[in-house]
Chain A
Amino acid sequence: MKIGLGGITGNPVALGIAVAVLALLAFVPLLHNGYYENLFRGVLMFATLSLGWNIIGGYTGYVSFGNVVFFGLGAYTTAALWQHAQVQNIAIDVVVAIVVAALFAVILGFPILRLKGHYFGIATLGIALATEEIIENIDWLGGGSGFTIRQVDAFWTYYVAMWCVCAASMLATYLIARSKLGYALVAIRENEEAAAVLGVDATRYKIIAWAISGAMAAAAGAVYAGSNGFIDGPTAFGIDNNVFPIVMTILGGVGTVAGPVFGALILTAINETLWSHFPQIHTLFFGAVIVLVVLFLPRGILWLFGVRNGWRSIVGSFGQYRV
């Protein structure tokens, strides 16, 4: 990422490509192909989740290992609204989900965001696990067997909804990165103490960042639940939705606008290939992918855009953290 050229939004060329990709994806419903609709809905969903994680993990530097909790809350919001309030409107689902997520982030943010580094990571993981457990124990929310939601609209409606959520998330990330808020977050990430001395109210901005990241994830979850027709604990709070966004953001480029989108695209492509050719060991391969990405591409693919000797630099930087 060439410093100064795109500021903290990232390389403008990459950004342009990401926007183009997004625009292209808008036309998928016209293909009338169920497989592609499902596949790219997944891409859009993971792109949104990654963009969300990117706000708190990438820009603010608070590595959350439990952002799936927001996705789950969003999914259950749709389910609960459908089941108990007979609401079948995707837009309402999304709005309520966002509110729920934001409240959750604000309330829990005060104690949790005071923790640093490892502690924050595990605390968020714990929150995700605990919330899943608690929800599974509440019958009003489906208990252990989950909810079935009768799909009211055609699938392509959900696709469009997911596209809108993704586009909105990308736009939000872009606006934030260009704004004072964006710089506050990055300052917190780079050096929280120095940021405080420069006038940045870290607590306030961290909570805002977490709330925004949660809102994105919840919106994705709300749409997903409707399109999937069924949710339960593992579906909503599953480990895939937790870890994939992190790996995708890293692969694509942390702390940029386009990075999460690229990461989602690439990793979904890899995932699909693995699923179709090696269904048995697909998760195993994924573990290997994670290990390789972390070892060799810790700054993500976008990093290559700004670096002249791409491959050589990867090899050269490998081992910079070794003992």
Chain B
Amino acid sequence: MELFAQDLVNGLLAGGIFAVVALGFSLVWGIMNIINLAHGAFVMLGAYTAFVLFSAWNVDPFVSVPIAFVVLFVLGYALQRFILNFVVRAPILTTFLLTFGLSLLIVNIVLLVFHGDIKGITTAYSGANFALGPVTVAWTKLFTLVAALLITALMQLFLTRTKTGRAIRATSMDIGAAQLSGVRVAHLYAIVFGLGAGLAGAAGALISLSYSLQPSMGDPFVISAFVVCVLGGLGSVSGALVGGLVYGVLEAFGSQYVGTGVQDAVALVVLLIVLIVRPTGIMGRAAA
């Protein structure tokens, strides 16, 4: 019973990260119908940004979060504006392969620069935890969850309260009408992709405390982002949040009861079940 509660708590704590990663992925997918296979690489870049800032200037990873967001936003904006915008309406294979190629490029550049050895960040409070009844909660994980929730809330506010946010939502509903209303779609798409990348980067900075860093660390996040989007439905911030938390819990239980080596298998089974039983996801709408 204690184990169950521990798994539940750990799952929820991890779920926040999955939610933020998935939110970025969901924005790009929902609004531009691009499945960004380089999304995991963006997460990795965020983590490495935090690492660099920490090793060079002793910047606390949590402070690096907004910095990583900005760095990845700029990168994402440039990628979309100057490369991806040319293939936005192409068949899926094109965007799949293109983002895959970009992912290869990014991962290998990082490999060249930082080499493949595993790195990590340890701060003064890294190992600290407290007890909540029978369950042990690590402070870093708790802060991470809080930060994730904060980011999600900010995103929601941005999408609903700002002019740009509304323009984004309008474009996702009807690109023609949006263009006629004066929306500069190329620029807007670049912003969306930048936001997606920024969110991934922020998540990466957040996890730099709890995960070890290597160039390939981002790989599992693409699959998990996809599953969360399917679980939670596209185009829904709350969907990404709920989906992420659920996914985190499922993963925790999966590790416990099925075995640690089979995360992907668990994710896949969940994905298939959801796709077949309820294609619109738990909360949102399905993709086209």
- Chain A positions near chain B (C-beta within 8 angstroms): 57, 63, 65, 111-112, 114-115, 117-119, 121-123, 125-127, 129-134, 136-137, 243, 246-247, 250, 280-281, 283-284, 286-291, 293-295, 298, 318-319, 321-323
Contacts and interface: CB of A to CB of B under 8 A. Distances in A.
Contact of B102 (A57, A127, A287, A289): A287
Contacts of B109: 284
A126 B271 contact: yes
B129 to A, nearest CB: 30
Nearest to B260: A137
A121 B94 contact: no
A280 B112 contact: yes
A57 B93 CA distance: 9
Given A118-B35, A121-B35, 8 more contacts: A122-B271, A129-B268, A130-B262, A130-B265, A130-B267, A288-B105, A290-B104, A298-B90
A323 B88 contact: yes
Given A118-B35, A322-B87, A130 B268 contact: yes
Nearest to A247: B97
B94 A294 contact: yes
29 contacts: A63-B93, A112-B272, A118-B29, A119-B275, A122-B223, A126-B268, A130-B264, A132-B264, A133-B262, A134-B265, A137-B259, A246-B97, A281-B112, A286-B104, A290-B100, A290-B104, A291-B101, A294-B94, A294-B98, A295-B83, A295-B87, A295-B98, A318-B86, A321-B87, A322-B86, A322-B87, A322-B88, A323-B175, A323-B186
A290 B272 contact: no
A196 B259 CA distance: 43
Closest 5 CB pairs of A and B: A287-B104, A290-B101, A284-B108, A287-B105, A321-B90
Contacts of A322: 85-89
Contacts of B175: 323
B264 A291 contact: no
Contact of A133 (B88, B263, B287): B263
A32 B255 CA distance: 51
A322 B186 CA distance: 9
A133 B264 contact: yes
A137 B104 contact: no
Contacts of A136: 261
Interface residues of B, number: 46
Interface of B: 29, 33, 35, 83, 85-90, 92-94, 96-98, 100-105, 108-109, 112, 175, 185-186, 189, 223, 226, 230, 259, 261-265, 267-269, 271-272, 275-276, 287
Nearest to A318: B86
B242 to A, nearest CB: 20
A203 B150 CA distance: 46
A250 B88 CA distance: 18
A62 to B, nearest CB: 10
Nearest to A319: B86
A161 B184 CA distance: 57
Contacts of A122: 35, 223, 226, 271
A169 B185 CA distance: 45
A294 B262 contact: no
Contact of B264 (A114, A126, A283, A321): A126
Contacts of A126: 223, 226, 264, 267-268, 271-272
A109 B90 CA distance: 26
A174 B259 CA distance: 45
